[in-house]
Every structure is written in structure tokens, then in C-alpha cells.
Amino acid sequence: MQADGAMRAIGCMTGTSLDGVDVAVLDTDGDRIFGFGPSTYRAFSDNEAAVLRAALGRWPGDPGVAEAAAVIEAAHLDLLRDIDGAVIGFHGQTLAHDPGGRGTHQTGNGARLARDLGRPVAWDFRSADVAAGGQGAPLAPVFHFALARWIGAEAPVGFLNLGGVGNLTWVDPAAEGPFARGAMLAFDTGPANAPLNDLMQRRRGVVLDRDGALAASGRADTAILEAYLAHPFFARRPPKSLDRDDFAGLTDAVADLADADAAATLTEAAVLGAVRGLDWAPAPVSRLIVCGGGRRNQTVMARLAHHLDAPVLTAEDVGLDGDMIEAQAFAYLAVRAARGLPISGPGTTGAPAPLGGGVLSWP
């Protein structure tokens, strides 16, 4: 621990896009950010991604789950052995998410990582929130509050993360703290990269629509989009969260479209989910900061700018690393977990009160 109370923490994130493992180092006391350390990334091989994809939607003990856990643990061990940090925040791979039903399932055993790495690991961040009646997601908002202060925001700001699923955090940086009344509102906005990436893999044999080029050459199907926005999810008051495949019908709906038109439709769906989500914001955002892989899609960014009055910026435009914000968030959450600080609350997951979370395993 540093003299200012900061701790060097390591955060790890494997998202629903199934592309690989992000690892980032953060100096924090669980409240303030003191600085950003190095980061790294390890892509999943085709075989690893296939194992993970085969386990999606499955629960502990189901076929394929043990194999998926082995992939996740081995990939993290590859990266973490040579990175220094006092505590590790390990998210694991979400395979199934059903708050209010069966619960939530992130595979990968943090206790095993703690044993093999010889360092404490905070993990299983979502289960306590779901058990208390929360959505268990999103969990990055408390970090977004700290980021809003780090970048010097004075008016409400939005953080839109476009991974496999989209999620939005509205932050008022003038609030007394992240769980003060009216400080934050956060929720999933709808599918983001996952349906488009799946389409590109299936039809073109590539992992994504690079720069949104294919979508830019197509025409979005307005009837499909109208039916999509009529889904009850969009009328439900946040907080709310999604599983990666909750909108499988959207993929079915574009099955008969040409590649470019299907890509354009799925891209616009991701954008409209975020735009519709901003209607729930307590006050207009002064700027929307986009992070996650979707910020690299020029068509996504152009369509967001088309629909919104506020400036639409990438994380890099405000001095942040848009690839690593979620990994940094789990470093931040690891320190909060170690110190017994809340990581979720009524405005972020719908939990009944600010709640701590995460299991801390020691070597």
C-alpha cells in the first residue's frame, strides 16, 4: 500500500463478445483513482472461443462448463503470473444471467487462481447482489463515478459501454458519493456487438464488422427495428439487465436480409437501444463517452451522433483507455471488496440498499 492509501490492484475482464481477456492495473484506495498502470490483452484461440461459445447459457454442473472454466483459468494464469499487484479482481466468464430466476453464473474459480498465483483474488462479484434482489449488473458504474471525477466532469455525463451487450451509466459528479440519492443510474441498453459479431462470423468468417464498413454499405430494415423497439424490455423502468442471448429473435429477424442490410439493421438496433436508454436519464448528459469495442465502429459512432444532441466522444477523447475501462473497474471493485465498501445499489442494479460484494480468496 502506498503512503496516500492507494493500493496497486489488477483487474481482469472477459466479456460476452468472447474475444479474449483484458487485464489492467489501477492505483486506487477504492474511492479515488490515483493513477493507471500497464494493461495487456490475450485473445482467445479459435478453439478456446468455441469451448466458451458451446457453454453459453449453461449452469454449474452442466456439460461443457468445466471445460469452459479450464479455458478461463488457464488464460488468466498466462497473463497474471508476471504482473505485480496487491489484489486481483477476477470477473470470470459470464455463461448465464437470469436475475429473478436461476441467478447468475460466471465460470472460473478465483480460489484456484489465488492458490496458483500466491495472491489474494476477489471474485464472484455478482451473486450477492442477485441474491438480494438486484440485477447483478452492471457493476462498473461505481468506477464510472470515480472516472467522471478523474476527468473533471462538472455536469452529468454518460458512459456507454458497447461490448457484447450495451450498458449505460448516467453520473452526476456533483453528488456527495456514488451511492448518494440521484448520483447514478445504470442499466443494460440492449444487445450491442454480440449479434453483429455472430452474424459476421457466420456469414463472412470474420470476428467483426471492422470500422462498421459493411453496415455503412447497407440499409437498416425499419420494420425489424420497430418490432425490436416494441420489446417489453425497453418500456421497463431501469435498473435492468440482459443475458447475451436475450434478443436471439433479432438474429432470426435478419436471417433473410443481405449481409450488408443485416449488418446495418443490427448496428442500428445497438444504437437505438442506447438512444432509447438515455430517455430514462434523470437529466440530459453534457456528453456521452463511449467505451468498449463498439467505439471503434465508425457507423455506430456516426449513428449515435445523428440521434443525440450531446457530444458523442470516445473514451480516448477524454484521456481514458476505452479497451480497458471494464478491466480497470474490476481492479477498483477488488479494492472496494477488500475494504468492505459497497459495489452496487438501488440506482445501479436495483439492489434494495448499497451492497458489498465479491468473495475474497487468499493463497
pLDDT 10s digits, 209-241: 999 999 999 999 999 999 999 999 999 999 888
Name every residue whose Cβ is closer than 8 Å to that of residue 235 and which is 6 or more positions away in sequence.
none
Say what the alpha-carbon torsion angle 339, 341, 343, 348 is, to the nearest 10 degrees.
-170
Question: Of the candidates 297, 325, 334, 331, which has an alpha carbon nearest to the alpha carbon of residue 312?
Answer: 297
- CA-to-CA separations, 288 to 96, 127, 157, 285, in angstroms, rounded: 29, 30, 6, 7
pLDDT mean over 119-142:
95
As a whole number, mean pLDDT of residues 290-309 equals 97
- Nearest CA among 278, 84, 249, 29 for reference residue 167: 278
**Above 90 in pLDDT, residue 3?**
no
**pLDDT above 60 (res 115):** yes
Whether 5 shows a pLDDT value over 80: the answer reads no
> Mean pLDDT across the stretch 254-280?
98
Q: Give buried/exposed letters for 161-178 (b at 16+ CB in 10 A, else e).
A: bbbbbbbbbbbbbebeeb
Which amino acid is present at 229?
L
- The pLDDT of residue 153 is 97
| The pLDDT value given to residue 2 | 55
**Contact assessment for residue 164 and residue 194, using Cβ atoms and an 8 Å cutoff:** yes
Candidates 226, 268, 269, 264; CA nearest to 247 is 269
Confidence of residue 192 (pLDDT cuts 50, 70, 90): very high
pLDDT at 1: 47
Distance CA 161, CA 137 (A): 13
Q: If you average pLDDT over residues 305-324, what whole number do you get?
A: 97
Closest CA to 198 of 14, 13, 15, 17: 17
Q: How far apart are CA 275 and CA 189, in angstroms?
A: 9
Q: Which pLDDT score is estimated for 15?
A: 82
Count CB atoms within 10 A of the CB of residue 259: 17
Q: Is the pLDDT of residue 169 over 80?
A: yes
Supply the pLDDT for residue 245. 75
Q: Does the model's pTM come out above 0.95?
A: no
Q: What percent of the chain has pLDDT over 70?
A: 99
Q: For the chain, give the mean pLDDT.
A: 95
199 within 8 A of 191, measured Cβ to Cβ: no
Residue 150, pLDDT score: 97
Among residues of the chain, what percentage have pLDDT more than 90? 90
Number of other CB atoms surrounding residue 47 within 10 Å: 9
Q: Distance (Å, rounded) from C-alpha 112 to C-alpha 4?
A: 31
- What is the set of domains in the chain, with CATH numbers? 7-137+324-361 (3.30.420.40), 152-318 (3.30.420.40)
* Residue 246 pLDDT: 82
Task: Tell me the pLDDT band of 265, cut-offs 50, 70 and 90.
Answer: very high
Q: What is the DSSP letter of 91?
A: E
SS3 163: coil
Per-residue pLDDT of 53-68, as tens digits, reads 999 999 999 999 999 9
